[in-house]
Amino acid sequence: MYRKLLVLIAMLFAIVGLIVGCSGDAYQPIPKADAVAVLMPTAGNTISGTVIFAKSGKAMRVIAEVSNLSPGAHGFHIHEFGDCRAADGSSAGGHFNPDNSSHGAPNADPSHVGDLGNIVADESGVGKLDLLVARPDLEGPNGIIGRSIIVHADPDDLKTQPTGNAGARIACGVIGIAR
C-alpha cells in the first residue's frame, strides 16, 4: 500500500513538472520560419503583428506577436482563403476546416485544422502566442500556405459552432512561404 502511494505521488509530481515545464514560461528559441503572415488591421482597427509557422516533427509551431489589441483574449484562427481585401476581413472565408469537423480547442478532438484558440493581450495591448499544433501542415489537404490568419475582437469560447463566438475580425494576414 505504501509503495503504491509513493508511486502515485511520484506520478503526480511528474505530471505537474511536465505541465509547468511546458507552460511557455521557459525560454524557447524562435525556430526558422517555414511560413509567415504579416497581420494588417481591418477597417477601424490599428492591429499589427507577425505570425510565423515552423514545422516541428509532424507538428506545427505557431509563434505570434500582435500589437494594439484590447487587453484580454482574442480568437485566433487560420481561415480558408488567403484574401484579406474585404474591409471587415470577410473575404478570408470561414475557419479552415478541410475535414468538416466541429469547432473546438487546438489539438482537441473534434476541432478544425484552423482552430488555434486565443491569443491573450496584456495591459499594454501586446499579445504573444507560442503553440504547438498537430494538424496544420505546409502543403497537402491540411496545407496552410495561401490561407489567412485572423485575429478576432472577442475570445473564442472553444465550443460554439462553427466559430467559437469570437466576434468581428480585427486583423488579417495571408500565410506565405517564409524566406
Catalytic residues: 77, 79, 95, 103, 112, 115, 152, 169
Q: Which residues of 79-108 are buried (b: 16+ CB within 10 A; e: fewer)?
A: bbbbbbeeeebbbbbbbbbeeebebbbbee
Residue 131: count of CB within 10 angstroms of its CB: 17
First-last CA distance in the chain: 59
Half-sphere exposure of 112 (CA within 13 A, CB side): 26
Q: Are 148 and 136 in contact (CB under 8 A)?
A: no
Residue with cell 482597427: 45
The set of cell numbers assigned to 161 is 459552432
Q: Rounded distance, CA 73 to CA 156, Å?
A: 8
**Dihedral (Cα; 34, 40, 42, 45), 10-degree rounding:** 130
